[in-house]
A and B are shown apart, each in its own frame.
Chain A
């Protein structure tokens, strides 16, 4: 693919609001995970909750979209001058030429969970104030972003479980390459809800502690939440010295099982290989891989097999989920940001949460991290249904 400039970016997660808070936390190894106090969840687990979501208000004209997920989106869009950067891009390209691709797994389903507690005692109907379209529906957050910026071009939610927001980069790159649009807002928004908390609990995939990716004692995920957005445009003269670009994207399907990865990491490896091919790079060109690294036994074992098969033991890798939690449909966007920050600021984040790397896992998992040049970084995102996506980021001038 032709490289795409990340011309603006923002992130809000349990690590804080905005890029600088996130950089500081990732560089210092500060975790945002804490015992779960979310809503009425009665589960012994840790979560990564965004502070201040419930206090966020949507613009009055968009009140129909009001729900926790869209409040997180609004909170995210107002950090880092992202809002202004989008408006400038819209002025440059026109409102019909800026596409919107947002990854989410559950969108505003919490709104429906809450509405089910308020069913009419006589006929069982949902309360009249419940607005399915603008809250629960999978596409609601993508439509919110489109409406908020007055856009009139293509827009969709991409929902492939935990690879959702990684895949928004791949979709947007095809739309730009095909000439359908000139720029795209991509990223992910997924927020805490009871469906995912109790759902992962039912699969016995929730850790009772803060998750420990790659640790021998790892026992599951910690669910996080995040809103992260990126503005993608063709890499042109606009790129300055600090610029980072999307160099490649690779996607695959496991064709194996609905909730377990292929044990040899077949689909994971195919996605990473496709991302490298898309960037016209060999494995040795990658300085750091931000793993999917969820902290479940099966994910980390399968991903490790794929990593070793492709990179051997030479490439630094680790998971930042010990700091951010697993933001599910937003995880790909969160970890794309981790890669962009690693390149921009020259550091590998520490592998937080992990005490001792499982000796059965053979990739070069970094516990300490530290300052160093990262020219190119890969982010891995793998989801239920065997949906895999890997992204490669680097300096625009490093592109082939």
Chain B
């Protein structure tokens, strides 16, 4: 098996990483990485009523997805999407579980429909008008790898249709944070096209192999990679940021990794 795609656009938001243009400098070592809490952009693309209801994962998906599609010169309304995340919106989940453990079990209908794992996909489609398929994948710490595989398999089946991969995770509040500690919010989006000769962007070849995942040299970035499922993508982003050809292993399930060869 070898799956392939061209990376036509990247979007990223995370701790000390705000947009691909700035983040790529830090990831390539051309600028220092300065840790800072994730600044979540307001979801301007949503109608006002939906904007008020949007949780952190929705904001991550919208910001990174729009950045990646703009960089790729693709109309987001035209794209099939793959959303990958370890879990749904933690704040909703906490509020619902708290209410259900109390004497008054009435929960907010908005919280309930925002609690579904595919809420970011729903808001994305409302914001952009995207009517194609949206896959919503969950694989705990392997979610980024699982999402990337899903996007590549979709691309292999439908090579004419570019795919937008959006991976994101946001922290749970306590007490769930104690059981599932995710330190901060992180989102990445990759606009992927078939490995067409004429298309622009780095070419990726991906294989599923037993391998130890690559780590980040900078301790602050390695802490993100190890702590946030979507940030398992960081070694791939660093390779893309370098603009060089190379190979990197991205964490997947157990001792499996996605070995990705990139050529600019």
CA distance A386 to B113 in the complex (A): 11
A220 CB, nearest partner CB in chain B, Å: 13
Of B93, B140, B176, B254, the contact of A139 (CB 8 Å cutoff): B140
Residues of A within 8 A of B116 (CB): 105, 159-161, 383-385
How many cross-chain pairs have Cβ atoms below 8 Å apart between A and B?
221
Rounded to whole angstroms, the CA-CA distance of A389 and B115 in the bound complex is 20
Q: Give the chain B neighbours of A199 by CB distance below 8 A.
A: 96, 107, 109, 112-113, 115
How far is B150's CA from A167's CA once the two chains are assembled, in angstroms? 12
Residues in B whose Cβ lies below 8 Å from that of A78: none
Stretch at the interface among B18-26, B122-130, B232-240: B122-130
Contact indicator A133/B180 (Cβ below 8 Å): yes
Asked if A385 contacts B121 (CB within 8 A), the reply is yes
CB of A155 within 8 A of chain B? yes
Cβ–Cβ contact A198 & B100, under 8 A:
yes
Binary CB contact string for chain A from 369 to 400 against chain B (1 if under 8 A, 0 otherwise): 00000000000000111110000000000000
Check A116 against B98 for contact (C-beta < 8 Å).
yes
Kindly state the separation between the CA atoms of A194 and B176 in the bound complex, as whole angstroms: 18
Decide if the interface of chain A is mainly helix, strand, loop or mixed.
mixed
- Residues of the B chain whose Cβ atoms lie less than 8 Å from the Cβ of A386: 122, 125-126
Cβ-defined partner of A157 (8 Å) among B130, B139, B149, B153: B139
Number of A residues with CB within 8 Å of any CB on chain B: 69
A202 at the interface (CB under 8 A from B): yes
List the A side residues contacting B133 at CB < 8 Å. 170, 251-253
Contacts of A112 in B (CB 8 A): 93, 97, 176
**C-alpha gap A152/B157 in the complex (Å):** 23
* B119-A153 in contact (CB<8A): no
- The answer to whether A194 touches B105 (Cβ under 8 A) is yes
B100 contacts A160, C-beta separation under 8 Å = no
Q: Does any Cβ of A come within 8 Å of B219's Cβ?
A: no
Set A109, A259, A266: member contacting B109, Cβ < 8 A: A259
Q: Is A174 a contact partner of B115 (Cβ separation < 8 A)? A: no
Closest 6 CB pairs of A and B: A385-B122, A199-B112, A251-B133, A159-B117, A138-B138, A178-B156
New contact pairs (14) apart from A146-B253, A383-B118, CB-CB < 8 Å:
A112-B93, A130-B179, A138-B117, A156-B139, A158-B138, A161-B118, A194-B105, A198-B107, A199-B113, A202-B108, A251-B134, A253-B122, A255-B131, A386-B126
